[in-house]
Amino acid sequence: MAVNHAPDGSGSGTGDAGVHHGRLRVFIVDDHPVVRQGLNLLLRMQPDMECCGEADTVPEALRGIAGTLPDVAMVDLTLRDSSGLELVKTLHCTYPSMPVLVLSMHDEMLYAERVLKAGAMGYVMKDEAHETIPLAVRKVAAGRIHLSERMSGRLLSMFLQGSSAPGNSEVRCLSDREMEVFELIGRGVSTREIAGQLNLSIKTVEAHREHIKKKLRLADATELLHHAIHFVQSEEPV
């Protein structure tokens, strides 16, 4: 059964639409129109789901989610104007009972633990089979965590061994914000552009660059760029 997220429970015409129709109402946040169109179509093919709204920026997502109060928010990790990870944190704080499912092209082994800590309930890589997405939506809507079997096994192993999740041990030492800056560097984005995308000052971005170099033991900006490019290329889907 769909969960009613309307603050007063009275139903404003949007908050309990999922209850009345027996469908899970999903809000899609992705900055690629083709991806949103495909996800919308996939949801409409499910007898128990519907897309109640879409957004390609964080401000639009926050306005749309506030207006529709969906049962599940599906969020891309990399957005044009900001960080999907920061949006996950905001949604978790603002709507703690609303499950967030992250759908991303990024390697689950590096990002799944981060998004769970940020408040998401699940992680699906975009290159997984299409039937995985409806399954993940139903799972998080029911209050359960969704990860791939491989990632679930590794997190269980991590828990039993009392260590951090597997992955690139050097890169994993970066904070969430440093990880965002590092990835943008690898995609050829300038310091000024990074500042604009992440709503930071240029001085703050430069400070993050210095912290990254120190944590990864890199000598200079050239070495940082090469390391970041290699990281981005290694995680791109084949």
pLDDT per position as a tens digit, 198-218: 888 999 999 999 999 998 889
pLDDT per position as a tens digit, 1-27: 333 343 333 333 333 333 445 899 999
pLDDT per position as a tens digit, 46-61: 999 999 999 999 999 9
φ and ψ at 21, to 5 degrees? Answer: -95, -5
Domain ranges within the chain, ordered by starting residue: 17-158, 171-235
CATH architecture of 17-158: 3-Layer(aba) Sandwich (3.40)
Q: Is 140 helix (H, G, I), strand (E, B) or coil?
A: helix
Domain 17-158 shares a fold with domain 171-235: no
Mean pLDDT of 138-145: 95
Mean pLDDT of 33-56: 95
Do the beta carbons of residue 176 and residue 85 sit within 8 Å? yes
Q: For position 198, what pLDDT does the model report?
A: 85
What DSSP character marks residue 146? B
Instruction: Kindly report the average pLDDT of the chain as a whole number.
Output: 81
- Band of pLDDT at residue 159, cut at 50, 70 and 90: low
The CATH number of domain 171-235 is 3.40.50.720: no
H or E, element range at 101: strand 100-104
For the chain, give the longest Cα–Cα distance.
Answer: 60
Q: For position 152, what pLDDT does the model report?
A: 62
Lowest mean pLDDT among 16-20, 72-76, 184-188: 16-20
